[in-house]
Chain A
């Protein structure tokens, strides 16, 4: 029981990273991206391959994972972001599937459907963070989430956050205010992708093995659900959403009802959450975060 709860918290942390990224893209930028799973996979495989083949330490693979994901974000973003938003959704959905397709087929690099095993554990100054014992891993992970949260929060309250909001509200007016809309969309997309890549690194270091089956479209939908449920445009809400969605995911195990509750239960529930939230509470549980300005600038 406690064990499950710790597991939920760890997955909350990993998914919260992805949700923070999704919130920049969708909550602030108003762009529907369906490919956090793809960037998550790229991050995981970057860590797995660099650590097992080239002996890199985990901490060296994290920036590499972020960079790789960002690069792919740029690659997919540039042709699609210039266009109307709907294409982005489809293109990113396709991209996620392609990533999995490639991971499954590029045997020499990814070892195909078997995946990569024996990924070394995280070490900090010689101290080994054993994921089976969970606590230490949890601490390291949540410090990362907290740092990411602070960085994103600060960014959202800067000119960049405001520019992205302007782009979401009205692209034509934003352009006429001197905002380069493509640039900001690409920035948002790259930021969202890179933090998902970092989440991927932690996923690899937690499970100590990676295989293509982990990075399905469902992951992307879960992340989207977290942001929508918590409230678009609110980073605290993304983390809250991550926790609730993970709780729902493990509800059958937590309640000991795995025999009764069908395995599709959670997916159906995620679908329902999306529809119901859109109709009855599109602003999410917490709503968009409002910045209050007073003399002395943003608080």
Chain B
């Protein structure tokens, strides 16, 4: 089943078309890779899907609902979480606080009651609510074997751990769909292996994953399907094997043979 799709999504900045009529589909339960040379429009596509940028034309559909141009926080609440290419942690907060923020909108809401009642209720039952949030945040940290680093400031973590913390924070929002923007960037081989295992574990939780990555070993070994962008346009899509054999993909990466 298709969880998310873009219909001819276009994003132009003045005369520069960063993403050009891209129709991109994400199948539920799979790990989808989004690759392409630098400047191909991968991050722009992410931003347009997750509400940090607004498409010039085209639509974004999530579970069949049109979410084009919805604000980022609403998109997150629908079940789409993401990480960032250049890590955006809350640097001066502790590790556990970072993850707790991910639980923000997951608590203190009862659909059957009004907004005002909920606000008062969560003010009175502060302790109980905080315990819940804290407990869930710790579970996610344990998932990443980071339980021992709870009280460290996020900025003091090693680089690889910062990347993983960002994923933990995103997961704390209980997403159906998780976007990872270059999760392995800057990681050493051991860290990358750990990350690969984690991403598989995430998929096993029935969370659909889409990732942008330059590390071909990672992409080819864990992705079920891959979409290739080049100059803002979709160049190819298919299984890792198909992509590896695709002539135009090889050309885009290595240049045409004369």
A and B touch in the complex (CB under 8 A): yes
Interface residues of A (CB under 8 A from B): 154-155, 157-159, 162-163, 165-166, 169-170, 172-181, 291-293, 296-298
- Beyond A158-B130, A298-B127, whether A163 also contacts B88 by CB under 8 A is no
B224 on interface, CB distance cutoff 8 Å: no
In the bound complex, how far is the Cα of B96 from the Cα of A174, in angstroms? 15
- Beyond A158-B123, A170-B88, A175-B72, whether A163 also contacts B134 by CB under 8 A is no
A297 touches B127 (CB 8 A): yes
A178 touches B52 (CB 8 A): no
- Beyond A158-B122, A178-B73, whether A298 also contacts B130 by CB under 8 A is yes
For the complex with contacts A158-B130, A170-B90, A177-B170, 11 further pairs of A-B residues with Cβ separation under 8 Å are: A155-B123, A158-B129, A159-B129, A163-B101, A166-B90, A170-B91, A173-B88, A175-B76, A176-B81, A177-B76, A292-B151
- Beyond A163-B104, A298-B130, whether A177 also contacts B173 by CB under 8 A is yes
In the bound complex, how far is the Cα of B88 from the Cα of A175, in angstroms? 12
Most B Cβ at <10 Å: residue of A158, A178, A297: A178
Interface residues of B in 101-139 (CB under 8 A from A): 101-102, 104-105, 107-108, 122-123, 126-134
B169 on interface, CB distance cutoff 8 Å: yes
The 0/1 profile, CB within 8 Å of A marked 1, for residues 24-39 of chain B is: 0000000000000000
From A159, A178, A298, contact of B173 by CB (8 A)? A178
In the bound complex, how far is the Cα of B74 from the Cα of A181, in angstroms? 11
Interface residues of B in 71-102 (CB under 8 A from A): 71-73, 76-77, 81-82, 84, 88-94, 96-97, 100-102
- Beyond A154-B123, A158-B122, whether A172 also contacts B104 by CB under 8 A is no
Task: Using C-beta atoms within 8 Å of the partner chain, give the interface range for chain B.
Answer: 35 or more
A297 touches B107 (CB 8 A): no
**Dominant SS at the B interface?**
helix
Which B residues touch A166, using CB under 8 A?
90, 93, 101, 104
Which A residues touch B102, using CB under 8 A?
177
B104 touches A178 (CB 8 A): yes
A173 touches B73 (CB 8 A): no
- Beyond A159-B107, A166-B90, whether A178 also contacts B77 by CB under 8 A is yes
Which A-chain residue is minimally distant from B127 (CB atoms)? A297
Shortest CB-to-CB span from B88 to chain A, Å, is 4
B96 touches A293 (CB 8 A): yes
A297 touches B131 (CB 8 A): yes
Which A-chain residue is minimally distant from B80 (CB atoms)? A176
A176 touches B76 (CB 8 A): yes
Which A-chain residue is minimally distant from B105 (CB atoms)? A178
Shortest CB-to-CB span from B13 to chain A, Å, is 18
In the bound complex, how far is the Cα of B126 from the Cα of A173, in angstroms? 25
Interface residues of B in 53-84 (CB under 8 A from A): 71-73, 76-77, 81-82, 84
- Beyond A169-B93, A172-B88, whether A177 also contacts B101 by CB under 8 A is yes
- Beyond A175-B52, A177-B173, whether A169 also contacts B91 by CB under 8 A is yes
16 A-B residue pairs with Cβ-Cβ distance under 8 Å, sorted by A, are: A158-B122, A170-B88, A170-B91, A172-B88, A173-B89, A175-B73, A176-B52, A176-B76, A176-B84, A176-B170, A177-B104, A178-B73, A178-B104, A179-B104, A297-B133, A298-B130
Shortest CB-to-CB span from A152 to chain B, Å, is 12
